[in-house]
Amino acid sequence: MVDKLESGPAEVVTSGSVISFLGNPITITFKAEDEILKLIFEFRDEKEKKEPRMEVSLPNPETLKIILFNFRDPLGLGTGKPARIGTIGNRNLYLQYRVYPISGSLDKILHYTLYKGEEVSTNG
């Protein structure tokens, strides 16, 4: 069992790989710093459009929904660097992910890592 996992200046909060179930969204719920947070990854393929794109929404203060359109590249698509998605406790929260399609299926493979970064400044 790992007690602590870090990469550079960031501490890994959670990390994993998930295969979507029959093309359904993937929901990741985790607890950190006494806060419960939820990430929802939804995958949509548009027949009339080819370019990958992303839409992000906050259905509520504890939930981040990421809709990934046209993530069909067999080499995978995702973040080029950790993306700041908010704060947890007094530290910045970052997300990095990569998505791979499963040939002949609606399913996707999602690799993800959430990091706690530097402390958030409390002075104006």
Residue spans of the domains in the chain: they are: 6-119
| pLDDT tens digits for range 30-72 | 887 788 899 999 999 998 888 999 999 999 989 999 999 999 9
Q: Give me the pLDDT at residue 124, please.
A: 54
Q: Give me the pLDDT at residue 33, please.
A: 76
80 Cβ contact list (under 8 Å, min separation 6): none
pLDDT band for 116, please (50, 70, 90 cuts).
very high
Contact, 109 vs 123, CB < 8 A? no
Q: What's the pTM?
A: 0.90
42 Cβ contact list (under 8 Å, min separation 6): 25, 65, 66, 67, 68
Radius of gyration, CA atoms only, the chain: 15
pLDDT band for 28, please (50, 70, 90 cuts).
very high
Closest to 77 measured CA to CA, from 87, 68, 66: 68
| pLDDT tens digits for range 89-113 | 889 999 999 999 999 888 999 999 9
